[in-house]
């Protein structure tokens, strides 16, 4: 339990720094950034799986219809969340993205209580109640329907629920998720390059390195989050998540 909380804190602290990283890649189309996150994350994870000699056990655990469908669903949710987040940050909607991740813990708690029969302590109910009031005030004062915030909240909230109930460990699960998205991602970048719209190797050296580095900065917090989701209640993860939008 304590180790899971530490993993969760680590993931949320790293995600809190993400807007700075993606701002450095301002000018690169969001969907191309997402494609690079998928490709370089998968490359790193494959190296980890082969480097630790786990390929045979990974293949035996991952390659069946039920597991593939579960992780296809989680991969789609994750890619939608990434696309919305990166586009919103680079388009200047940082406040609304933060609102989305203030809403997300409320959804995580709701999913945990309703579907996983988790029970909250009185102080947790008090914290969630205060957060709900705060989110409502910010959402009303925002002035228009917060579709970005709701998209981020629901895609990541449901993703967290899937990861909580999914059968694979953090390394195998994330490898399978990114592997399922790898071919569409690399095909898209190939098409963009053929059309003369590709960003990779056509921007500054620093931005090229940042696109490659997206694999590392994406993989580490996701592995931490997946490990945390398997060790602590979903409602507890929801409470911890307030660290990210606060940052």
Residue 104: the pLDDT is 86
Nearest alpha carbon to residue 215 among 36, 51, 32: 36
Find the domain containing 162 and state its range.
2-246
The three-point CA angle 6-9-12 to 5° equals: 150
Tokens 């469908």 identify what position? Answer: 69
Cα 194 from Cα 176, distance rounded (Å): 28
DSSP letters along 99-122, please? HHHHHHHHHHHHHHHHHS-----H
Tokens 């490990």 identify what position? Answer: 227
Q: b/e per residue, 200-231, with b = 16+ CB within 10 A? A: beeeeeebbebbeebbebbbebbbbbbbbbbb
Nearest alpha carbon to residue 158 among 76, 242, 69: 76
Phi/psi-derived region of residue 204, left when phi > 0, alpha when psi is between -120 and 50, beta in every other case? beta
Q: Which of the 8 DSSP states describes residue 204?
A: -
For residue 192, the surrounding DSSP H or E stretch is: helix 170-194
Residues in the chain with pLDDT values less than 50: none
The CA–CA distances, whole Å, from 82 to 33, 37, 125, 137 equal 9, 9, 30, 26
Task: Provide the whole-model pTM.
Answer: 0.86
Residue 153: the pLDDT is 92
Q: How many domains does the chain fold into?
A: 1
Contact (Cβ atoms closer than 8 angstroms) between residue 238 and residue 105 = yes
């Amino acid at each position: 339990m304590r180790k899971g909380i530490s993993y969760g804190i680590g993931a949320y602290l790293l995600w809190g720094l993400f807007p700075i990283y993606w701002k450095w890649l301002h000018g690169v189309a969001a969907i191309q950034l997402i494609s690079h996150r998928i490709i370089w994350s998968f490359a790193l994870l494959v190296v980890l799986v082969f480097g630790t000699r786990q390929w045979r056990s990974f293949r035996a655990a991952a390659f069946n219809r039920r597991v593939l469908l579960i992780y296809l669903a989680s991969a789609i949710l994750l890619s939608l969340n990434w696309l919305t987040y990166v586009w919103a940050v680079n388009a200047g909607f940082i406040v609304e993205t933060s609102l989305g991740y203030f809403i997300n813990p409320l959804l995580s708690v709701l999913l945990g209580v309703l579907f996983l029969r988790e029970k909250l302590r009185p102080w947790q109910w008090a914290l969630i109640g205060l957060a709900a009031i705060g989110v409502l005030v910010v959402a009303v004062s925002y002035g228009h329907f917060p579709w970005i915030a709701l998209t981020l909240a629901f895609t990541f909230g449901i993703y967290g629920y899937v990861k909580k109930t999914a059968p694979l460990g953090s390394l195998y699960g994330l490898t399978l998720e990114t592997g399922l998205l790898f071919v569409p991602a690399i095909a898209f970048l190939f098409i963009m390059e053929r059309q003369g719209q590709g960003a990779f190797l056509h921007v500054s050296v620093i931005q090229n390195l940042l696109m490659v580095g997206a694999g590392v900065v994406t993989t580490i917090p996701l592995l931490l989050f997946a490990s945390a989701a398997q060790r602590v209640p979903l409602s507890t993860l929801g409470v911890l998540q307030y660290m990210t939008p606060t940052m």
